[in-house]
Structure 1
């Protein structure tokens, strides 16, 4: 390592944990996107940041905590996108709104694929199991809050009973759609139309 690199590394190590943590998470997401979750290790994060491992460990106790913190942060991005799939409360039952929503979701998934793989990956990292459960609970709670007034407008019967079931169905459709969107060979228009119409019909299935 040359003198300039050593100097840069020394300066980097003096940022402090509070300022360093967002960089650690950004780097972890970058590694996950390029190489997969299995390569998100404390050593790889340190190497990519150009710091020593103790600097990374000062931010998080271990790999599991890095992945959990990353999942918590990326859940916010996922949640915002899923909430946008639901039509505004002022509208009626317009199927095209769901199709348009899934078309927009496709663009979001392609822009931040690692975020979606962390949450909806077919083979999640075992270290993330508890964090994924928490993240999905957040998704369910927020979706239920937004869906309730919409279903009330649609005069869905037995709403308190139907709402949790419809949330699960909607989330399952979204999860299947995201996995298809992560497939580079998928036809974006066909995916948006198929899953958008399926979500609409599922939401209107309960009279």
Structure 2
């Protein structure tokens, strides 16, 4: 299925529905990042995307639904990055570095997305709270499973360590972004991953598996 939109120059363009949705989400991200949720308007988002408001409303019945679709997209991306960090190696030191890198890469490549997930001006909205909690909990779950299996800890203790690793990675990445990336990214990742590894690797070495 494709749709026709009318540009200001009068030329129509047809896009498949999935491509149109991606275009609308990209436009919405620009507007939400610039103005915040409360000051953003559907008129402005439609104009940024080069579509009429009826086309925008065909995909998203309201501003909250549009915002949540964008937020969920970025939450899924972050979860995928952290899960991949755990799955691509069996070396625990590398896993820790990869987990830290997942947050720094997300911030570096998608700073608008990171701010939408963790610095939303809609933080009191239950749907937003649930989405942000999902991002954190899924990341913690992925790391917990690895620590439980490889460090010989029970799930409660492994989860507490995982929460610590996710917390330091998230906060450090946000601080690095706010500081305008003054420290080179690879150096910043090394600093934080070394800090985390000295605690996890030194206190909880890899256990032999039968």
* Shorter-normalised TM range: 0.7 to 0.9
Q: Per-residue displacement from partner, 1:92-124 (whole Å, max 9, x unpaired)?
A: x43x66346535643442221111111122x54
Q: Alpha-carbon deviation of 1:73?
A: 0.7
Q: What is the SS of the residue equivalent to 1:7? A: coil
TM-score normalised according to structure 1 size: 0.74
Distance 1:189 1:18 in 2: 35
CA contact (8 A) 2:46 2:52 kept: yes
TM-aligned CA distance change 1:25 to 1:202, over 3 Å: farther
Q: Alpha-carbon deviation of 1:179?
A: 0.7
Higher relative contact order (CA 8 A, sep 6+): 1
Which residue of 2 is the match for residue 81 of structure 1?
Answer: 81
Which residue of 2 is the match for residue 51 of structure 1?
Answer: 51
Q: 2:8 aligns with which of 5, 10, 15?
A: 5
Q: Within 5 A, what are the aligned runs for 1:1-207?
A: 5=8, 7-8=10-11, 11-12=12-13, 20-33=20-33, 35-38=34-37, 40-86=40-86, 90-91=90-91, 93-94=92-93, 98-99=96-97, 102-103=100-101, 105-121=103-119, 124-126=121-123, 129-156=126-153, 159-183=154-178, 184-187=180-183, 188-204=185-201, 207=204
Distance 1:197 1:133 in 2: 31
Uncovered stretches (5+) of structure 2, i.e. residues with no partner: 1-5, 205-210
CA contact (8 A) 1:24 1:56 kept: yes
Q: Alpha-carbon deviation of 1:175?
A: 1.6
Q: Per-residue displacement from partner, 1:125-176 (whole Å, max 9, x unpaired)?
A: 34755234234325423541453144322212xx122233223222211220
Distance 1:58 1:147 in 2: 41
TM-score normalised according to structure 2 size: 0.73
CA contact (8 A) 1:98 1:200 kept: yes
CA contact (8 A) 1:87 1:98 kept: no
Uncovered stretches (5+) of structure 1, i.e. residues with no partner: none
- RMSD across aligned positions (CA): 3.3
CA contact (8 A) 1:170 1:203 kept: no
CA contact (8 A) 1:110 1:181 kept: no
Distance 1:105 1:199 in 2: 14
TM-aligned CA distance change 1:88 to 1:67, over 3 Å: same
